[in-house]
Structures are given as C-alpha cells and as structure tokens.
Amino acid sequence: MSDIFNFFFGQYFEYETIDIVLEIIAVVFGFLSVWYSKQNKILVFPTGMISTSIFVYLLLKWGLLGDMMINGYYFIMSVYGWYIWTKKIDDIHHTPISRTTSKEKLMSIGIFIATIIFVFIVYKYFDKWTSWVAYVDTITTAIFFVGMWLMAKRKIENWIYWIVGDIISVPLYFYKGFTFTSLQYLGFTLIAIFGYLAWKKHLNNSQAT
C-alpha cells in the first residue's frame, strides 16, 4: 500500500507544505470553475481567477513557464469572459450560448498558431527545450488558449478543446510530478464531456423555441 502511495504522491515529500496546500486549494477552485461553466453560471470566472492566480505563483516557482503562461492567460480571459457573459444583447437577454462562425473558426486557427510561435520563442529564450515535455506543453498551451477564448465568448466548441487538452494533461502532469493537478485534469475531462452535452442540449432547446 505504501508503495502505491509513494508512486502517486512520493514527489510531495520534497515540496514545502504551503505549496502543497496552495495546490490543493487551486485544484478545488479549478473544479468549481469548470463545474460552474458546465452549469452555464457566471461564477465560472471568479472561482477560475482564484485557481489560476494560485497556479501562476506555483508554476513560476517550479519553473514551468508554459503552464504558468496558460494560467496567466486564463486569468486575463476570465476578466474578458466575465464582461462578455454579463453583457446584454438587448434590454433583457445576455450573451447566449452559440456556435462559432466561420470568422471565429479562422480566429481560432490564428490563436493556435500564434500561441505555438509565442511559446516557442519564450522556451527558446529561457532555454527550456530540454525534453519532449516542452513540445507537448507547446501543443497543450495552444489548445487551451483557443478553448479559453471560445469559452469567454460562450461558444459551445470550447468544450471540444478542453476535452482534448485535458486528456493530454492527465498523464503529462503526473509525469511532471504533480499528482493532485493530474487528478484535477482527469476530473476536468469528465466534467467537460458533460459540459458539452449540457450546452448542446441548451443550444438545441433555444433554437427550437
């Protein structure tokens, strides 16, 4: 039993207690944020901002620049998304769930490519191209950047990006030695699947009426 525990959590023996506590708090608020997103509730943004701000600190401390940039971007896009979700399209209705337009699909491709170029430059500058993990980080960062942008705009396709990115992140974070965060992304994957189904049902009902 101890061997199993050490396999999953042994790396935490080397961490400061405060960092472990902060990671757990960030994970809890991360779960709350994704859950509120599934429920289509505005609380997705304040809970997400708490989680991402903690992760920015921890990831900077641990030297994981790609992951830190993802969370910093999440924080900024949460402010933008909070504004979009509360913005009224008329006197009664707020910005609704919708599908991406052709222009937004092109924008998504542009964000994806621009993110890869940006992360490449940052990693090159800080000499972080030391293992295959850096290459995977680059891809997941681009995926999550697009996903967060689409979520802020309340586009149903955001869930597809989250699902793909979360699935990749589960083994990736475990390999990096962050078991709690790996488990978080496993939970994120499940919630994202149900989130997509819930938003799709909501969208279909709105179109029917």
Written as six digits, the tokens of 182 are: 């790996």
Predicted local confidence at residue 57, as pLDDT: 93
Q: Which residues, listed in sequence order, are joined to residue 98 by a DSSP beta bridge?
A: 155
SS3 166: helix
Structure pTM? 0.83
Task: For residue 3, name the pLDDT band (cuts at 50, 70, 90).
Answer: low
- DSSP secondary structure letters along 34-66: HHHHHTT-TTHHHHHHHHHHHHHHHHHHHT-HH
Written as six digits, the tokens of 199 are: 């938003």
Predicted local confidence at residue 15, as pLDDT: 72
> Which helix (H) or strand (E) segment is 33 a member of?
helix 17-38
Say which residue, 146 or 62, is predicted with more confidence.
Answer: 146
Predicted local confidence at residue 17, as pLDDT: 86
If we measure between CA atoms, which residue out of 148, 160, 141, 29 comes closest to residue 77? 148
pLDDT in tens, 27-69: 899 999 999 999 999 999 999 999 999 999 998 888 777 778 8
> Which helix (H) or strand (E) segment is 1 a member of?
none
Written as six digits, the tokens of 196 are: 């997509």
User: What value does the mean pLDDT of the chain take?
Assistant: 87
Task: For residue 95, name the pLDDT band (cuts at 50, 70, 90).
Answer: confident
Above 70 in pLDDT, residue 198?
yes
How many CA atoms lie less than 13 Å away from 68 in the CB half-sphere? Answer: 12
Domain ranges for the chain:
2-91+101-208
Distance separating alpha carbons of residues 112 and 145, to the nearest angstrom? 7
Its sign, for the CA torsion 191, 177, 76, 143, is negative
Distance separating alpha carbons of residues 97 and 81, to the nearest angstrom? 13
Q: Are 65 and 176 in contact (CB under 8 A)?
A: no
